[in-house]
Structure 1
Amino acid sequence: MAERYDTIGVNYAELRKPDDRIATAIEQALGPARTILNVGAGTGSYEPANRQVTAVEPSTEMICKRGPSAAPVVQAPAGDLPFDDNSFDAAMAILTVHHWPNKAAGLREIRRVTRGRIVLLTFDPSHRPWLTDYFPQLAILDEAQMPAISDFARWLGPIRVETLPVPHDCSDGFLYAYWRRPRAYLDPRLRSGSSSFWALDGIEAGLQALSDDLRTGEWDRRYGHLRDLPVYDAGYRLVIAE
């Protein structure tokens, strides 16, 4: 997976700008913890600026894209964290667990090095945003890659799950962020910010169908009610383990 992000990372920092409202939800979930481990940290999105954060990231390209204000980073995979037991007050992993080769091992490692709370931002693969109507292979990919919410309880013990609504003008270009801006999915540059589109083949039919439906008004007949919503449950969840 580090190799994939060495490719995706070319435009990642530009397209995946942290959204302040999502950042607030993550910070609140972290509670009063002062020392935080960020696993699968990427370019540093959502690292709390007012805490002592240590980042872990396997991809060289993503590490190179980290800004000067990002937390110190260690290059390592989630499944082999180079820290002593109970080194951190809390840990976070943001839209990354589904990429880990051994998810259970990675989460066991996070639990080992964390004294307190673990906060994960993930996607519930049982959810079906409207985009999957045009790209049904996304639903297949979600089910193949994304852990079920019940898996986290099996790996981490008791968990709390909170819905994370996506703002209509979300600045972070993850897969379902453009739910109220459907034309964005026709832009190959914007699609390049999502690892899921890099993993799909044969998307031409879906792109053509979406383009046709936007042109004819069919998209608005089916989904136009979304244009009145300020936020949308696109399937993203905060999983919190004490």
Structure 2
Amino acid sequence: MAGTDLYDDIGTGYALGRRTDPRWMTAILDALGGARTIANVGAGTGSYEPDDRTVVALEPSTEMIRQRPPEVGPAVRAVAEALPLRDHAVDAALAVLTVHHWTDWRAGLAELRRIAPRRVVLAYDTSLHTEFWFVREYVPEIADLERTRPSAADIAGELGADSVTPLPLPWDFVDGVFPAYWRRPDAYLDPRVRRACSALAQTDPAAVDRGVRRLRADLDSGRWHDDHRDLLDLDQWDAGFRLVVSHT
């Protein structure tokens, strides 16, 4: 995922909040196609690693590696920009919600191209994240962080993507990515939920606390539900997540 220092600092308890959602897992498996050997770059706790193929997990953070359950296997400490694999070492390179944390994302994507003929990257449209109601109305400082990150379109362009597929968020999504609770705003009052979201963990705590207090007040008064009544009838919502696939 990110550099070692970042996730050694904010990654504690990450595995509790970031679980595999089977709907995204299905999309990722489809994108991997017939690949039998996979390098999972920025593997984290292994949430989206296939269990029926050979996976080489690569992750810089010892804290994230520590939280990997036994069934997904161990990980090798490595950064995306310098992968310890030979050219064309695997059938596919997988990178799930990690590119925006890399120190040099273009160098990391070049490494994906080097080690595998097929690249599957789950990224997101940063502009849509900045428009998320939690950012727009409660913690606008998050938008400053998002603007520094590569967007899905940037990543697709760099890889020369063959396809870019939207992955909407179902209302009952089980992986606690930042916008996952778009229809369940009470969840953001829980510090455990906030700790599993890197955008919140990397934003000024005072700004986050201020926004959470305002959200709690709006939930208590009913204002949030009045203002966002249109969301309550939706089964899914496009938060900007995109599955980028390129192959040679």
Scaled to the shorter chain, the TM-score interval is over 0.9
Normalization by structure 2: what TM-score? 0.92
Q: CA deviation at 1:160?
A: 1.6
Aligned length: 240
2:226 counterpart of 1:229: no
Distance (Å, rounded) in 1 between the aligned partners of 2:174 and 2:213 = 26
Identical positions, percent: 49
2:243 counterpart of 1:238: yes
Distance (Å, rounded) in 2 between the aligned partners of 1:195 and 1:178 = 15
- For residue 177 of structure 1, what is the aligned residue in structure 2? 180
Secondary structure at 1:126 match in 2 = helix
- For residue 32 of structure 1, what is the aligned residue in structure 2? 34
Structure 1 alignment gaps of length 5 or more: none
Secondary structure at 1:75 match in 2 = coil
2:198 to 195, 199, 222: 195
Distance (Å, rounded) in 2 between the aligned partners of 1:42 and 1:152 = 20
Matches within 5 A, 1:81-100: 81-100=83-102
Q: CA deviation at 1:155?
A: 2.1
Say what the alpha-carbon RMSD is for the aligned residues: 1.3
- For residue 121 of structure 2, what is the aligned residue in structure 1? 120
Secondary structure at 2:147 match in 1 = helix
Distance (Å, rounded) in 1 between the aligned partners of 2:4 and 2:28 = 24
2:223 to 201, 213, 218: 218
Matches within 5 A, 1:137-156: 137-145=141-149, 147-156=150-159
Q: Could you list the runs of 4 or more consecutive aligned residues of structure 1 that deviate by over 6 angstroms after TM superposition?
A: none
Secondary structure at 2:154 match in 1 = helix
Distance (Å, rounded) in 1 between the aligned partners of 2:161 and 2:9 = 36
Distance (Å, rounded) in 2 between the aligned partners of 1:105 and 1:69 = 31
2:164 counterpart of 1:161: yes
Secondary structure at 1:150 match in 2 = helix
Distance (Å, rounded) in 1 between the aligned partners of 2:146 and 2:110 = 22
Distance (Å, rounded) in 1 between the aligned partners of 2:119 and 2:147 = 23
2:54 to 52, 55, 74: 52
Give the AA of the match of 2:90.
F
Secondary structure at 1:61 match in 2 = helix
Normalization by structure 1: what TM-score? 0.95
Give the AA of the match of 1:230.
D
Secondary structure at 2:245 match in 1 = strand
Matches within 5 A, 1:70-109: 70-109=72-111
**Native 8 Å contact 1:41 1:94 kept in 2:** yes
Q: CA deviation at 1:76?
A: 0.6
